[in-house]
Amino acid sequence: MGNIEKKLLKGVDLGDLICVEWTDASVGKSSGSGIAIDIPVKSWGVFIGVFGERSKHIVIAQNSFKYSSGVFDIDYTAVPLTWTLNVVVIAKACVESQVTRQLLNSFLLGGRRALNKRTFQRRVVNHGGFR
């Protein structure tokens, strides 16, 4: 664990509900009304680890959909450590350790699961605006 990682994640354990304060990249135009390079962001979720080969990212699970046999499909945010300003623990052990391991395993599987994948498509019809 590097110095930045140790400092930011001091007291943070897997399964804790955290808030990650970070700055996102920005897209701008020279004709804009001002310069805003650092876009402040706060992301909340359950801490499931730090991952990345070239650059380390704090990964938080934000929504989980539990399927059979403890398999989850999760929505997650991965925040680069170098973009992270602060990490605040909102609730310790918000998720039980067994569920945290299942979330982590589902994340590492990358969405591959032994369920039949079905795609549902809704047809949207817009006839002249709102009613």
pTM: 0.74
Q: Which two tokens stand for residue 61?
A: 């699970």
Q: Which residues lie closer than 8 Å to 47 by C-beta, 6 or more apart?
A: 12, 13, 14, 15, 16, 17, 18, 58, 59, 60
| 12-44: pLDDT as tens digits | 999 999 999 999 887 665 555 566 678 899 999
| 101-131: pLDDT as tens digits | 888 888 888 744 444 444 333 444 444 443 3
Strand order across the beta sheet in which 17-24 lies: 72-80, 57-66, 39-51, 17-24, 84-91
Pick the CATH number of 3-109 from 2.30.30, 2.60.120, 1.10.150, 1.10.1060: 2.30.30
